[in-house]
Structure 1
């Protein structure tokens, strides 16, 4: 399986945290958009992820032990429908270069990184 690992922090998230804020919209709409700051994910990497039987990305809680699999249906560079983005970062949507349409989150094992192979960073 080819995927990417992204770090996240709760610096600007509501008290419930990033994953819970995103999960609320999954419960309401069946999916949520998760934005990636920094450089955009290349089309080659997008294709590799989406060609997996079960496309997912790994989210790593920066400075904490939380690891989460985010199961995705789509990856795009265009800003999605803001109603499907958690409210706390809708106003900054233009700063995010890649968007992941997440249909569910699942806890990953705390040692998940020990069984991963890094191709680039």
Structure 2
């Protein structure tokens, strides 16, 4: 499965943290928008992700071991309605250039990074992410058959 892996940090997050803040909105509304700062993902990448059987994006907590899957059903460059994303975004929401409409958040397997290969270089995400400052990577993720 081809998808993207995004880094995130807690620089602007509330005390409960980025994931918990998004889960609160998700639990209340049934979905939540996750904003990505910096360059937006290309239309081709978005179309590839949304075209998979289970569109999801890997979130990598910078400097920590936490990894999360965001199950998405839409990706937009437009600011979503106020209240459909965590309140802590505040004025920062206007700087987000890519929005992921999340219908489910799940903790990823602790070894997920070793199951991902960066499309541009063919290296495991666990290695490439340590040597790059890139905010996101296009990855191939090989799910294990159940």
TM over 0.5: yes
**Mapping of residues 90-101 of structure 1, within 5 Å:** 90-101=90-101
CA distance in 1, matches of 2:101, 2:82: 12
Structure 1 unpaired stretches of 5+: none
**8 Å CA contact retained: 1:82, 1:90:** no
Which ranges of 4 or more aligned residues in structure 1 deviate by more than 2 Å?
none
Partner residue, 2:63: 63
Q: Which has the higher helix share?
A: 1
Partner residue, 2:6: 6
CA RMSD of aligned residues (A): 0.9
**8 Å CA contact retained: 1:55, 1:71:** yes
CA distance in 2, matches of 1:30, 1:87: 16
Secondary structure at 1:48 match in 2: helix
Deviation at 1:10, TM superposition (A): 1.1
2:52 is aligned with 1:52:
yes
Deviation at 1:90, TM superposition (A): 3.0
TM-score, normalised to structure 2, is 0.80
Secondary structure at 1:91 match in 2: helix
Structure 2 unpaired stretches of 5+: 121-136, 138-146
Number of residue equivalences: 121
Partner residue, 1:116: 116
Q: In the TM superposition, what whole-angstrom CA distance separates every residue of 1:62-111 from its partner, at most 9, and x where no partner exists? A: 10000000001100111111211100113211211100000111111121
TM-score, normalised to structure 1, is 0.96
Deviation at 1:2, TM superposition (A): 1.1
